[in-house]
Amino acid sequence: EEVAKHNTEEDCWTIVHNDVYKLDGFVRKHPGGLKLISKAMGADCSADFEATFHSRRARTMLEGFKIGTLVEKDRVASRVNPAFAGGGGGGYPFNPFMQNRLAVPMHRPPTMTS
């Protein structure tokens, strides 16, 4: 409820994986532009954040805007594989579609001989 009140360019809060970020000064600087980041204003943008590549540098930068963590009753289950979240793994998300592709061996047609 509180985060939803902060939904303007001048007063922008967002949620990424149950952490709350105050992005007021960053909104116009976002590389994806105002239109893209406006979807995150006053809302949980975890899925959108993970659906778009964000470098380790971008994820570190995001941490600088953190102002809090949601209380237990307001949290939602994270869709990020903990093995990839944070630090050393670069924070790449668990993507079930990509995971399935990696789990299935690449099909190669048989070699033709003459």
Predicted confidence at residue 114, as pLDDT, reads: 53
Q: What is the pLDDT of residues 69-88, one digit of tens each?
A: 998 877 776 544 443 444 33
Q: What is the pLDDT of residues 26-75, one digit of tens each?
A: 988 898 888 888 889 999 999 999 998 889 999 999 999 999 999 887 77
CB-based burial, 20-53: b 16+ in 10 Å, e otherwise = bbbbeeebeeeeeeeeebbebbbbbbbebbbeee
Predicted confidence at residue 72, as pLDDT, reads: 81
For residue 10, name the pLDDT band (cuts at 50, 70, 90): very high
Could you tell me the pTM of the whole model?
A: 0.65
Amino acid occupying residue 85:
A
